[in-house]
């Protein structure tokens, strides 16, 4: 009997340790995931364009296909790569983060550049009769998953960099938990955004109360402006997060001047406002200065990407297809 009690006590102890470990993983996954907020916002802002133009009944299935592709990107491809880097080449994490940060700056700056110099023209209607709706859907989903891969790589690298040194299992669980959670938040949010106008139309047409019908009409009217605002927020987040990554990366290489200057200016601004607003003011000034540096870097990178990298990548793809 005493042996059975001892065994039960050991099982209870193991269960407590496991529960504590799960709590630690969940807490670290949440904390690390917050660090990737900029890339997450941009992921949510970019995805709706891939659903635009399809029949309403295909919107949620398309989002589900993209979400499954995103999970595959994060868990099957990027998570093992991140763990290998952490175990065998941790010195590569900071340079890779900075490359990803520069990419975010480039993407954000390019969007602003095109907005100023090449205003978007109305999109051509989807030619489903010529190309086939199923083929077009596969093409759009593949494009969305490719875009997600780049953003997911940045997200997973940020999470890995924000995770303290620990066992490979803790890092794997943190990356997996944060990756799954972020994917659920992003594509759950995309689904809500994409279907919001349908909900508004339903309420405006079938609402039993005048207030309900008015709410439906308000949702329908608000969605175009909301989508534009979401795109603007996503672009700003890309530039701000990219700039912050570059600044912190430089500090990691011993060039701490930009980070110190930004911290000093943010501290001065925080002291100029009442105490309850100091924290937000310091964060806002830091984000703004990171964003200014990120935008400047992005503008500088545009000629290199458009005139050197993109043509070179096209030549490599062409040589590969001929081979």
Question: Which residues have CB under 8 Å from 237's CB, separation 6+?
Answer: 37, 38, 39, 41, 42, 45
Of the two residues 138 and 314, the one the predictor is more confident about is 138
Q: Which range, of 127-136, 187-196, 202-211, averages the lowest pLDDT? A: 127-136
Q: What is the pLDDT confidence band of residue 196, given thresholds at 50, 70 and 90?
A: confident
Longest alpha-carbon distance in the chain: 82
HSE of 69 in the Cβ direction (CA atoms, 13 Å)? Answer: 20
Average pLDDT over residues 130-143: 73
Average pLDDT over residues 115-119: 73
Contact 183, 74 (CB under 8 A): yes
pLDDT of residue 258: 92
Round to whole Å and give the CA distance between 186 and 36.
Answer: 12
Number of H helices, E strands in the chain: 13, 0
> For tokens 């399809």, what's the residue?
54
Contact 71, 188 (CB under 8 A): no
Round to whole Å and give the CA distance between 39 and 28.
Answer: 18
Q: What is the pLDDT confidence band of residue 290, given thresholds at 50, 70 and 90?
A: very high
Round to whole Å and give the CA distance between 183 and 166.
Answer: 24
Contact 204, 216 (CB under 8 A): yes
| Distance from the Cα of residue 148 to its chain's centroid | 8
Tell me: the pLDDT tens digits for 222-243? Answer: 888 887 787 787 788 778 888 9
Tell me: the pLDDT tens digits for 33-42? Answer: 455 555 566 5
The closest of 116, 112, 43, 109 to 73, measured between CA atoms, is: 43
Average pLDDT, the chain: 76
Average pLDDT over residues 102-112: 86
């Amino acid at each position: 009997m005493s042996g059975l009690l001892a065994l039960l006590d050991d099982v209870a102890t193991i269960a407590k340790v496991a529960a504590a470990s799960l709590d630690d993983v969940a807490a670290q996954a949440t904390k690390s995931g917050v660090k990737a907020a900029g890339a997450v916002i941009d992921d949510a802002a970019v995805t709706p364009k891939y659903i635009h133009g399809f029949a309403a009944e295909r919107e949620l299935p398309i989002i589900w296909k993209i979400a499954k592709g995103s999970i595959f990107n994060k868990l099957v491809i990027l998570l093992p790569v991140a763990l290998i880097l952490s175990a065998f080449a941790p010195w590569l994490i900071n340079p890779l983060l900075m490359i990803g940060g520069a990419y975010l700056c480039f993407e954000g700056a390019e969007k602003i550049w095109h907005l100023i110099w090449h205003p978007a023209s109305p999109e051509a209607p989807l030619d489903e009769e010529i190309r086939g709706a199923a083929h077009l859907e596969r093409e759009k989903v593949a494009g969305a998953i490719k875009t997600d891969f780049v953003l997911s790589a940045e997200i997973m690298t940020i999470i890995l960099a924000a995770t303290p040194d620990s066992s490979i299992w803790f890092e794997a669980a943190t990356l997996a938990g944060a990756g799954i959670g972020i994917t659920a938040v992003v594509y759950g949010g995309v689904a809500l955004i994409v279907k919001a106008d349908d909900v508004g139309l339903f309420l405006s047409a079938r609402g039993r109360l005048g207030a309900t019908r008015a709410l439906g009409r308000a949702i329908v009217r608000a969605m175009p402006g909301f989508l534009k605002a979401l795109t603007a927020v996503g672009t700003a987040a890309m530039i701000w997060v990219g700039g912050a990554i570059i600044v912190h990366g430089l500090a990691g290489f011993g060039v701490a001047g930009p980070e110190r200057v930004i911290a000093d200016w943010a501290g001065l601004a925080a002291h100029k406002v009442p105490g309850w607003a100091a924290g937000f003011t310091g964060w806002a000034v830091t984000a703004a200065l990171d964003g200014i540096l990120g935008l400047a870097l992005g503008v500088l990178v545009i000629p290199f990407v458009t005139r050197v990298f993109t043509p070179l990548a096209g030549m490599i793809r062409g040589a590969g297809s001929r081979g």
